[in-house]
């Protein structure tokens, strides 16, 4: 199975991205984690992205705060899917990061998650990889079933308190 690359602009993004890594572990998906800035270490970003297919990477999850455009830079260097996670890192509460992630020019897409939406990024990456992996598809189905069961338990707890 292909791997996922988790690329973040700063180590301060790791507490948010760790939820994605944990979920990828739960699904049995290998991943690489890289700290590389689109603006401060562009050569590192370029080298990592262009060598990714040789390393078995099939999907990128990118995260950056402020108006840093890591996802867009990654997408400009590859035809592999790029999932952007805007990070709330400024007084603008992540709106700057959201807009820089979602407002891509035609022809260079980045799938944008919610601000700090690393968990959904991991699920979306798993869904992309599951297109050609029935075993992973089953894990995703089981995950949804587990989430539904958790909601029902919470609903029962609320009903008991009435």
The DSSP result for 58-80, as a single string, is EEEEEEEETT--HHHHHHHH-SS
Say what the pTM is. 0.95
Q: Encoding tokens for residue 24?
A: 């990828």
Residue 13 among known ligand-binding residues: yes
In a domain, 139, yes or no: no
In a domain, 151, yes or no: no
Give how many domains the chain has, as a whole number. Answer: 1
In a domain, 159, yes or no: no
In a domain, 93, yes or no: yes
Under 8 Å between Cβ of 16 and 120: no
Query: What CATH number corresponds to the domain at position 115?
Result: 3.40.50.1970
In a domain, 140, yes or no: no
99 is in which domain, residue-wise?
3-133
In a domain, 26, yes or no: yes
In a domain, 99, yes or no: yes
pLDDT at 67: 79
Residue 40 among known ligand-binding residues: yes
Per-residue pLDDT of the chain (162 residues; tens, 9 = 90+): 999 999 999 999 999 999 999 999 999 999 999 999 999 999 999 999 999 999 999 999 999 998 778 999 999 999 999 999 999 999 999 999 999 999 999 999 999 999 999 999 999 999 999 999 999 999 999 999 999 999 999 999 999 999
């Amino acid at each position: 199975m292909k791997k996922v690359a988790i690329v973040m602009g700063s180590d301060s993004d790791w507490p948010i991205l760790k939820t994605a890594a944990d979920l990828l572990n739960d699904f049995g998906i290998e991943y690489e984690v890289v700290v590389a800035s689109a603006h401060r270490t562009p050569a590192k970003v370029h080298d990592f992205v262009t060598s990714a297919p040789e390393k078995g990477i099939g999907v990128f999850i990118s995260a950056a705060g402020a108006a840093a455009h890591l996802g867009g830079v990654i997408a400009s260097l590859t035809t592999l899917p790029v999932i952007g996670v805007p990070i709330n890192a400024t007084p603008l509460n992540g709106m700057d990061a959201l807009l820089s992630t979602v407002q891509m020019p035609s022809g260079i897409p980045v799938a944008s998650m919610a601000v700090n939406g690393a968990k959904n990024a991991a699920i979306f990456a798993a869904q992309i990889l599951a297109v050609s992996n029935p075993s992973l598809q089953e894990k995703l189905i089981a995950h949804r079933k587990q989430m539904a069961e958790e909601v029902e338990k919470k609903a029962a707890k609320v009903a008991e308190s009435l």
